[in-house]
Structure 1
Amino acid sequence: MKIRLHIAAINSNNINNNPFQPGSSDVDWCEPNYVVTEYIAEFWNTVSNIFFFLVPPLMIILFASYSKRVANGITILWILLIVIGIGSVYFHATLSLAGQLVDEIGILWVLMAGYALFLPSIYSPPSLRVQRVFYTWSLKNRPLQHRFTISCIILTLIVTCFGAVYPYANAFVLMILGLPAIAFIVIHVSKCDNRRIKNLGIHCVGMWAIAVTIWICDRMFCSFWISISFPYLHAIWHVIILFSSNEAIVICAYLVIKYHYPQANLVVYAWPNEEWGWFTLPYLKFHDDTNYLASPTNNFVTKSIV
């Protein structure tokens, strides 16, 4: 049985009226509450978010060259991952409704920002299939060039409002919205001639499948995990889904450039070094150090101000 020392003392009427009240969320994960410390509801679910504060800032640094030469819009995705980490820490530390919404809405915005940045126009509805400038938010002809991006923002705002009103459905909506991204990676990685991207795609999708399985098992078979004294699957989910999401961003950043500009010479690197195998962070750089984008012989756009 879950230990809820603090939450049991809270009046249910106050919980419903104050989303910042500890225990105001209807979601409670398998890890027993307030066991390690009286100040944190789910200790391991909270501290397992540490990678959300370590990996994204490092990826922003590693992608500095890519961001400078292509566009800095990709940085938004890693900033949103940090926001997810903040929301998840707040949520699992307090089990408050406000923390739950910051966590889940942050995931929604990462997904929709990824679609707006990476999805080729061929996948957008015909009415939105215009000549899009990759990552660019130009000051001229904005309605034409960014019709799809604006549509993504509008849809995201609608789903955000719905999620705030009916948070119970958020987890299911997020799972459904994530499926097209996985399908996109599977389809395009299978056609990619870069062996490293293929392997990275297999690893990314495999980790995503394991993470989703762990998430479901934590929700559906909690009594079993408690019986064997291992109710920490959701903490493991945090770690796996972060690294899977990071690899997905790298893969999509590669695929979208090669889709629009096959002549681009992108190289996949590993940090800190290749010898660490799958325990590395993949990132992209152009093969040369010259300003390829400034060359009049190519069609790359200059750096975006998104």
Structure 2
Amino acid sequence: MTIVLITLDSCRRVLCFIYEHTNLSFSEKIAEFYNTISSVSFFISSPIMMYLLHPYIQKRNRAVYLIWVLIMLVGFFSAYYHMTLSYFGQLLDELSILWVLAIGYMLWFPRRHLPTFIKSRKSFSLIVFLTALLSTILSVFRPTVNAYALNSVAFHIIYVISLELKRCTDQRIINLAFVTVAWWLVAISCWLSDRLLCAFWRQINFYYLHSFWHVLINIAVVHGTTLFAYFDAFYEIPETNPEVKYWPIDSQYLGLPYVAIQTEDNLRKSC
């Protein structure tokens, strides 16, 4: 993402000034009150998605559970970071996001989009793992670019989604893809505005944008992981007739999307 970088320290000085006069009125032990509380959203969505995706995970790959465990760690480290504003907390937060992306690529990157020199998903996963490991090491030395580098991965994800939509005729999936990108656009707008327009938000005493980012990106992640889980099920286990449903209300506007498959018992009954 080509953006003029503002150093973390300068932005934090502005934020700390704000929180010294606002957040401490809620708690003297939490540096950024609203950002800490909004991190709880990751703890709420992850168990729900593990439950909803259970049939798909059991049929396809139990490693999918690991993604949602890591997303809970993202929430935990994010809360820790915003409570303390420590460099260690920031690093753990960003590294947990890095490994969520890495495992997502290993599990869900469509096989037909693999580079020609990679012959199997196992080889691709090894390359992704080594890349993530190297990035983990390098992130210690260049921490100011970590967040921008992680967010830039979204452009490749959107590109892959666009390739899949060229072959997709299911309007329900097309709608899910557009809703996913829309949630991400709103979320990243909050994140960028919070980073690049710190002084402006300070002037009008508005300090909730990063909190909005936490909730909105969590919603985008739920939609995006469901979309790629559907693509995976569609290509790898088509006999299960995968479809996207919504919980608790079957509405793309009011429910959480998840992949539903027909189990062997249901398939036998339909026969």
TM range (shorter): 0.7 to 0.9
What is aligned with 1:186? 162
What is aligned with 1:281? 256
Structure-2 separation of matches of 1:198 and 1:126: 27
What is aligned with 1:300? none
3-state SS of paired residue (2:265): coil
Range with greater deviation from structure 2 (262-271 or 88-97): 262-271
Q: How does 1:127-146 map to 2 (within 5 A)?
A: 127-130=117-120, 132=121, 146=122
Structure-1 separation of matches of 2:189 and 2:144: 20
Pick aligned residue for 2:59 from 50, 57, 69:
69
Pick aligned residue for 1:246 from 222, 239, 258:
222
AA matched with 1:238: H
Structure-1 separation of matches of 2:225 and 2:175: 15
Structure-1 separation of matches of 2:254 and 2:198: 29
How many angstroms does 1:281 deviate by?
0.8
3-state SS of paired residue (2:259): strand
Deviations 1:241-273 (A, max 9, x none): 011011111000111222345554112221112
Residue 146 of structure 2 is aligned to residue 156 of structure 1: no
Structure-2 separation of matches of 1:111 and 1:120: 14
What is aligned with 2:185? 209
Deviations 1:148-198 (A, max 9, x none): 111111110000010122211101211222221121123213431222111
Closer/same/farther in 2, CA of residues 150 and 265 from structure 1, 3 Å limit = same
Structure-1 separation of matches of 2:254 and 2:80: 28
Pick aligned residue for 2:37 from 21, 30, 47:
47
3-state SS of paired residue (2:216): helix
Structure-1 separation of matches of 2:208 and 2:182: 20
AA matched with 1:33: Y
Structure-1 separation of matches of 2:119 and 2:113: 8
AA matched with 2:258: Y
Residue 194 of structure 2 is aligned to residue 218 of structure 1: yes
3-state SS of paired residue (2:243): strand
| Unpaired runs of at least 5, structure 2 | 1-7
AA matched with 2:53: F
Closer/same/farther in 2, CA of residues 269 and 121 from structure 1, 3 Å limit = closer
Contact 2:110 2:231 in 1 (8 A): no
How many angstroms does 1:229 deviate by?
2.0
Residue 102 of structure 2 is aligned to residue 117 of structure 1: no
3-state SS of paired residue (1:284): strand
Deviations 1:65-122 (A, max 9, x none): 1111122121111111101101100111110011101111111111111111111233
Structure-2 separation of matches of 1:125 and 1:192: 21
Range with greater deviation from structure 2 (266-275 or 63-72): 266-275
Structure-2 separation of matches of 1:189 and 1:245: 18
Structure exhibiting the larger radius of gyration computed from Cα positions: 1
AA matched with 2:118: L
The number of equivalent residue pairs is 254
How many angstroms does 1:289 deviate by?
5.0
Percentage of pairs with the same residue: 33
How many angstroms does 1:30 deviate by?
3.8
AA matched with 2:255: T
Structure-2 separation of matches of 1:239 and 1:190: 30
How many angstroms does 1:226 deviate by?
2.0
3-state SS of paired residue (2:260): strand
Pick aligned residue for 2:242 from 255, 266, 269:
266
Contact 2:60 2:237 in 1 (8 A): no
3-state SS of paired residue (2:244): strand
The structure in which a higher percent of residues are helix is 2
Closer/same/farther in 2, CA of residues 104 and 236 from structure 1, 3 Å limit = same
